[in-house]
Structure formats: C-alpha cells, structure tokens
Amino acid sequence: MPDDQQPDAPDSSRPDTARADASATASGRARTLPGTGVPDKPSLEGLEERWTGSWAQWGTYRFDRSRPRAEVFSIDTPPPTVSGSLHVGHVFSYTQTDALARFQRMRGKTVFYPIGWDDNGLPTERRVQHYFGVRCDPSVSYDPDFSPPPEPPGTPLAISRPNFVELCRRLTAEDEGVFEQMFRRLGLSVDWSTRYTTVSAGAQRASQRAFLRLAARGAAYRQEAPTLWDVDFASSVAQAELEDREIAGAYHRLRFDRSDGGAVEIETTRPELLAACVALVAHPDDERYRPLVGTTVRTPLFGVEVPVHAHALADPEKGSGIAMVCTFGDLTDVTWWRELKLATRTIVGRHGRLEPVRFGSPGWESADAGRAQAHYDQLAGLTVRQAQRRSVELLGESGDLVGQPRPVTHPVKFYEKGERPLEIVSSRQWYVATVALRDRLLELGRELDWHPGFMRQRYESWVDGLTGDWNISRQRFFGIPFPVWYRLDAEGRPDEDTPLFAAERDLPVDPSVDVPAGYSADQRDAPGGFTGDPDVMDTWATSSLTPQIAGGWEEDPDLFARVFPMDLRPQAHEIIRTWLFSSVVRSELEHGCLPWRAAAISGWILDPDRKKMSKSKGNVVVPTALLDTHGTDAVRYWACSARLGVDTIFDEQQMKIGRRLAIKILQATKFAVSRLEQDEPTGDGAGTAAAGDDGAAGPADHQSGGDQSGGDVRHPVDAAMLARLATVVTEATEALDAFEHARALERTEQFFWSFCDDYLELVKGRAYGMSTGSTSARTALERALDVMLRLFAPFLPFAAEEAWSWWHDGSVHSAAWPSPGELEPTMPAPPETLDVLGEVLREVRRAKTVAKRSMRWPVERVEVRAPARVLELVELGRADLADATNAAVIELRAHDGELGVTVELGDG
C-alpha cells in the first residue's frame, strides 16, 4: 500500500550477535582459507544478520512490476493478527509458504509476496483495554492532550472513541514491529516494500468502496433481525464466529394451562425466558400433541395466551417432546419464529439483563396483567443467570414447576472469543447476501485447486450449512466504519431506510467526523440533520479483501492486472469458513471469479498432548528462543518437513536435525570448493594431467541456468552421481509444483546425505590428487553442490546462500532453479553404480567397526562376489573403492546371487 510504504533499508541497527572472532574482518566475515572465499571454520552463527542485510540491500525479493502476468507468481499472504500471540505456529506456516515463494522465484517468476498486518477488531481492542487500563466510551469527547496513565488504573478509564483508536494504532504499531523483526529473522522472502495494514487508509478505501458497490446493487443491505449477540462485548457476531461448548444446565418441567382446562408440560433449559414465550411446537407426527395443535395454551406466571404449532424441527425425543418457543432462546427459535410467523416478545437486552416490559400493553396481553407484572418486576434488571434462579423460585411457589430440575449437559453457542453464552437480540445490521450465492460458491469451491484436496470438504460443509446472510456490522470502535449517514427527522429520529452513502472519491470517510454531502457539521445529531452510522465492519469484511487491498484494486490498475487473481492463498484450516470463504464471496460479488487459483492449507502445531497450541491453553512455544538456540535454517527445516494440511506435533528434535543438515551443507561445500581451487591456473603445472583443464569449472554464474553440462566429467563414478542427482532434481521440481515442499526437501536431503557418506568418501582421494580423474571429481563435486545448494535454497536459505557465496557472485535466491538438463552426462553411467559401491563401502566399514578399528585401518583384501552385471559397476569404481577403504587388493568374483563382501583387515 502506498500509504504504508517505508524505505526498505538493511537493518544495521541490530547488534551483531555473531561470535566475537578476533580474526573477523570488518565486514563480519571470518578468516578464510588461503586463496579462497571459504571460511576456515564455517559456522551458522551470524548468517541471519549478514544475509538478511544483503538481501535487503540487493533487493533480492523485490517484485518486478514491469513483468507480464504470465511471469508473476502472486501470493495472498495471511496478515497475522498482530495483537495475538506470536508463536511457533506462525513460523511453521509462513515458512512453508516462503519455501514455495522461493521456488517460484528461482523458476523465473517475479514473486508478488506482500505482507500485511491485521490490526482490526476485537483482539486489538481487548489488548488496548488491558494494556492501558482504559475503555472506550463514545459519549466522551475527544481530548487532544490525552495520554494514558503510566500504570493501568484499577477501574478502567473511560476515554473517547478517537482517543481509544489512537491507542489502538499506537499499540499495533509496536506489535507490528515485533512481528516484522521475527519474520525478517525467519528469512521470509516477502517484499517489505509492499506491506499493508487492515486499518490503513488504503484498506479502508478498499473496504468502503467494496461495501458501497455491494450496497448500490442491493447485495449489501441493512435489516432489523434477530442477531447473535455477545453481551460482554455488546456486539453482534457472525455465524462464522460461533463455537459450540458443552455446558451444564438443567431441564425444567413447566406446566402450561390448556384452554380446555387441562395442562401440558414442556421442558426447557431456559425458564427465565418464559415471559418471551410466543408458542409451543411439537412434531407433526407426534400423536401425543396432535390434538393440541391449533389451540392455544396459557403461560405460567404471566398468563399469556400462546398458540401451539407443529413443526418438523421439534424433536419428540427431547424433553417432553413439546418445546417452548421464545424470542429468542436459540437459533431454532429464530427458525420457528420466522417460519411460523410468530409474535415477537423480546426481554433480554444488549447487556444480558432482562429489560422492563409492561404487561397489558399491546403485544403483552395477559389474562391477569397485574399478576404477570408482579412476577416480571422481580426479574427485570437481573442478568440472565439471576433471572433463571428467581424464575425457578417463582415457578416453584406458583406450583407450575413440575418435579425437580433435571441436570443435563448440552451444547450452547458461544462467540469464539466470548465467555458467556450468546443471546439473540433483535437489532439492525448490515448484511452481505451469501445464501442466494450458495450454488455458485460451491462451484467456485470445486474450481479452486486445494492442497491438500480434502480440505475442500470443510468449505463445502460450511457453505451447505449457511443459515443466513453474512452480518458484517459490529458494535465496536476500532475498525473500519460504514461510509453511511442517516437523515434525522424533525423529532431527531433517524431514517434508517434511506441511508446517505458517501461518494467513492471521498473515501475513506469516518461518518462520526465527516459530514454527508449537503449537510454541515453543526447539523450532526440535530433534528432535521443527520447522524453517522455508529457501527464498524466485521474484521472479515476487510480481511476478505486482502487480494484487492494488496493488489492495488482500483488504485493501481496496472499492478492489479498483473497480480489478480492471485496464484496462491496460503492459510490455516480453521479459518476456511471465515477468511477463505469470505474472500471467495467478495471476489465473486466484485469480480465474478475466484480470488486465487490455488489454496495451500497448513496444519496446526500441536503440543506433545496433541492439543492445539494457543495462548489460552498456555502451551504456546515462543519462536525467538528456538531461533536463538537452533538457528533459522534449523527451525525452517522443521517447518518444511511437514506436509500441508497435516497437524504436526511440536518437536525440537527435528530442529537439531535441521541444524546438523545446515552445518553439513557448509562443510561439504567447503570441501568441494577448496578442492576446486586446485584447478585454478596457478602456473605450477598442476593441470598437466588433465589436458584442456583450464579452470572452466571455476566460478560460474548460473543466472541463466547451467551451460557447462558435463564439461570435464570423465569418470563413470562421477557421471553416475550426477545422473542420480538429475532424477532428484526432477522429483523435487515435480513435488514443489504440486505444493509438496516436504517431499522435495526429503528427496534432496536423502540424496545429499548419501552424497556425503558414499560419493564424497569414494572420490576424496581423487579430488585431492592431480590427474584427469581428479579434475573430473572436482568438477562433479562442484557441479553437484552447485545444484544441491539451489535445491536447498528454498528451505535453508541462509546456509545455502553462505555456501553459494564462496564461489559465486550474486544470490543463490536469484539463481535459476536447477534442471535435469544441466546435469546431462557426457558419458554413459548407470546411476545404480553408486548404490553398489555404497553397499561395498558399508560392508568394509562394518568389518572395521566390528573389529573395533578406525575407518582408516588398512585392509589386506576385499572380495566382492556378485553377478557379472553388478561386478561391472563395481569395476567402474574399483580404484575409488580401494582408496576409500584403504584396501590393498579388491577382488571381484562372478557369482549368481546376492552381493557378498568379504573383508580381510590388515595388521595396522
């Protein structure tokens, strides 16, 4: 976002925590081997600082907006909720995405990889309240000189909405700094010059513009309706924000009088809502109650006449089989109320207390209004809980409570961030039409390329289960306001039905500050004047537009055309019903298409008890300590080892393995590159044994891919190794194309270890020497490492970059992704050669280990028995084998059967 743009400078302010090596040069580089760029003692310490700085300086990850759409890979990065806890789950999923981004970049795409911060919404408000000890009171007027108390006071300080929003912005700015530092340290290759926040002016314009367009088409509308309501937050919440929790309650059996003089008993867990009862319902097939349907009964305590209806949703098995419908006890009540066109008698207010009502007035008719009022007056003003207790007492006294309450545990709807069961109140909210889109949304869900594929089920079951349109209004303070005002009539009553909308060119607007066209500021809240819409948008109403916000929708059409629809939406699975779903809705409504081609759904990090890590559970692992202990590459290795969509148990052991791998990469490269130097033209005649060996295998720039295929590889063992590596390149490429980063890493790693354990040991002797075979070995080593570093680069960017820098200019992350073509052998060499040689090598090692000898211990004689076809392969590496095992004689004996090896150790 232009308005958030910041200079992208290398972070030089951070103290260098790298080892204080007395020999370190001014640039922070350690002492190197003579005549080479290879450090004497390669180390992971300090790599993060060094390379993070260089990448920023070089602009390695900058998006090139001059490239056409076909050469762009665009990512709809999840903006983390900055006021939430920063934990190892972030590291996990963001690293997986980064690996894909780096792969695409190396494949030649320019990667649009923006970063955003979600500072909208309740989490921020809540954190500000706790952090500063304040609460927002819209009736307080703005204090320009306000500063928060140094210590949070015991009772929260009421402050104005603008002051509150200022504090929100101040705190989120701090939080964003913490996230940015961590993400940079993690080596995320995001383009730090394209960052946005969900409360920025750009995001506000996008949200308000999108809203205005929906409203103009009627796809967004305002309606008075029963609304899920959190009494503590005093705000409505959406279906997507619900969760069921099992809580303890009790069935209360209540007696209703029938008009024929008899009685009917119902069971309810919410006797406090009796005054809000508007009907009874039984299942149409339920013989017990069929005679009652169509008649009326009279409520206990209040003597209100209510009808008895039949409805399929009534469960004959539940309680007495006939239910009391209240406005509103739960979502089923809403359904009954709507479908059976029942009366409305709401009693629960927005703060969760029973509101006063007047029995005998219209809508509250009673057979005995005085008695009803006397009862109700004992409930009015009480909380729902208190009212329940009192109601039970009253029902007991009147004799309408049958038996004792029967304890049950039942699922109750909660706001996912809330602490008390939701109430349903009638209120006026803005809605986005989603239900009418259901079929199209399902179609889009099938169009999207899901990784893993089964995650689509979550989307489908959510879309299938939509019960109503999407409520996007929230009665909160820190969020994006609706660009809407209402006219006030002569009595000061708002005209809710014909809102005044802002013009797109004026966005963003804040209706509590800005004035609608044709009005002046002094008409605010005055009769005949106007009033601003007091609500803000649901956080998802903004987050659902991240592709549009980051892509410069309507503000930078050139950019937008190059990045939208995006290539990838990475995200976690629990927000499929919110973020993914709402993004699809918005894109469909605005653009008529999916917002991205593919979705990569990451799993969760579980603690050792297989519980999801979350702040509330107190089992969160903070990533900074992990990065300190193991290093970034090690932590990234752990993250990249897990497949998409798979919940993974947090395991620090994996990081140790990753660290070992990173060190090994440095060590192996050090060996290869320092051998390489022997081929440098030094004028000592070293190259005489290798005619035409003029050092062409020296520093080479692979920006345009390998162009030196097989130049000096003339030894079959070397050629076989490169042939095997070519298949690894193919596999890794296919895996990454299919978003299978873990497989790509695993294949590469597996090859690398066998390369180190077997190949390196086999050719070590040759690599040290000065012969044609030596040049071949050194060339093959160089070429293999050159390819492997590029294969590792997406996963272990720091170690790969460090090792790469020893004999390349430029970043490995700008280098071309390897292709099997650049490893095309110049001579035929069966790839199985290495497997066979490795097998023999292991047999000799085993013999030495069993004899408790060192690996250098001399061997008198090795006898290899195998079919002739296999022996041919052994023959290819016979000299290397002798060298690596320190064997005097290697005999090959043809033999039909398994490979057999006999080892006779020397005397030492």
- Specify the residue, 672 or 722, whose C-beta has the smaller distance to RNA: 672
The contact set with RNA (CB under 7 A) reads 239, 242-244, 411, 454, 457-458, 461-462, 464-467, 573-574, 577, 608, 610-612, 641-643, 646-649, 651, 653-654, 656-657, 660, 663-664, 667-668, 670-671, 731, 743, 746, 756-757, 760-761, 764, 768, 842, 845-846, 848-850, 852-856
Task: Tally helices (H) and strands (E) across the chain.
Answer: 25, 30
Side chain identity, residue 263: A
Task: Quickly list H helices, 342-437.
Answer: 369-376, 384-398
- Specify the residue, 509 or 605, whose C-beta has the smaller distance to RNA: 605
Measuring CA to CA, which residue among 308, 337, 333 is closest to residue 322? Answer: 308
Q: How far is the CB of 207 from RNA (least distance, A)?
A: 24
- Specify the residue, 339 or 393, whose C-beta has the smaller distance to RNA: 339
Q: How far is the CB of 97 from RNA (least distance, A)?
A: 18
Which 3 state secondary structure label does DSSP give 553?
A: coil
Strand partners, 861: 889, 904
- Specify the residue, 164 or 462, whose C-beta has the smaller distance to RNA: 462
Helix H or strand E segment including 803: helix 797-805
Helix H, strand E, coil C: the string for 616-631 is HHCCCCCHHHHHHHHC
- Specify the residue, 66 or 467, whose C-beta has the smaller distance to RNA: 467
Q: For residues 311 and 289, is the Cβ–Cβ distance under 8 A?
A: no
- Specify the residue, 244 or 447, whose C-beta has the smaller distance to RNA: 244
- Specify the residue, 399 or 465, whose C-beta has the smaller distance to RNA: 465
Q: How far is the CB of 239 from RNA (least distance, A)?
A: 6
- Specify the residue, 71 or 753, whose C-beta has the smaller distance to RNA: 753
- Specify the residue, 97 or 207, whose C-beta has the smaller distance to RNA: 97
- Specify the residue, 476 or 643, whose C-beta has the smaller distance to RNA: 643
Q: How far is the CB of 769 from RNA (least distance, A)?
A: 12
Virtual CA dihedral for 423, 426, 432, 434, nearest 10 degrees? 60
Q: For residues 605 and 650, is the Cβ–Cβ distance under 8 A?
A: yes
Q: What CA–CA distance (Å, rounded) separates 742 from 643?
A: 5
Q: DSSP per residue over 355-382, as a string?
A: PP--TTSTT---TTHHHHHHHHTTTTT-
Q: How far is the CB of 856 from RNA (least distance, A)?
A: 4
Q: How far is the CB of 658 from RNA (least distance, A)?
A: 10
Q: How far is the CB of 463 from RNA (least distance, A)?
A: 9
- Specify the residue, 502 or 601, whose C-beta has the smaller distance to RNA: 601
Q: How far is the CB of 428 from RNA (least distance, A)?
A: 23
Q: What CA–CA distance (Å, rounded) separates 655 from 515?
A: 57
Q: For residues 365 and 299, is the Cβ–Cβ distance under 8 A?
A: no
Virtual CA dihedral for 455, 461, 464, 467, nearest 10 degrees? -120
- What φ, ψ does residue 94 adopt, rounded to 5°? -65, -35
- Specify the residue, 244 or 495, whose C-beta has the smaller distance to RNA: 244
- Specify the residue, 160 or 239, whose C-beta has the smaller distance to RNA: 239
Q: For residues 179 and 82, is the Cβ–Cβ distance under 8 A?
A: yes
Helix H, strand E, coil C: the string for 845-879 is HHHHHHCCCCCCCCEEEEEEEECHHHHHHHHHCHH
Look-up: residue for tokens 């000065």? Answer: 770
Q: For residues 88 and 622, is the Cβ–Cβ distance under 8 A?
A: yes
Task: Quickly list H helices, 307-366.
Answer: 331-339
Q: DSSP per residue over 633-701, as a string?
A: HHHHHHHHTSPTT--EE--HHHHHHHHHHHHHHHHHHHHHHHHHGGGS--SSSGGGGSTT--STTSS--
Virtual CA dihedral for 590, 594, 595, 598, nearest 10 degrees? 180
Q: How far is the CB of 409 from RNA (least distance, A)?
A: 13
Q: How far is the CB of 637 from RNA (least distance, A)?
A: 11
What b/e string do you get for 679-702 counting C-beta neighbours within 10 Å, with b at 16 or more?
A: beeeeeebbeebeebebebeebeb
Measuring CA to CA, which residue among 110, 95, 90, 29 is closest to residue 797? Answer: 95
Measuring CA to CA, which residue among 319, 352, 311 is closest to residue 335? Answer: 311
- Specify the residue, 125 or 633, whose C-beta has the smaller distance to RNA: 633
Measuring CA to CA, which residue among 855, 864, 852 is closest to residue 889? Answer: 864
Percentages of the chain per state (helix, strand, coil), in multiples of 5:
40, 20, 40
Q: Which two tokens stand for residue 305?
A: 């006449």
Distance of CA 511 to the CA centre of its chain: 33
- Specify the residue, 495 or 737, whose C-beta has the smaller distance to RNA: 737
Q: What CA–CA distance (Å, rounded) separates 554 from 551?
A: 9
- Specify the residue, 338 or 612, whose C-beta has the smaller distance to RNA: 612
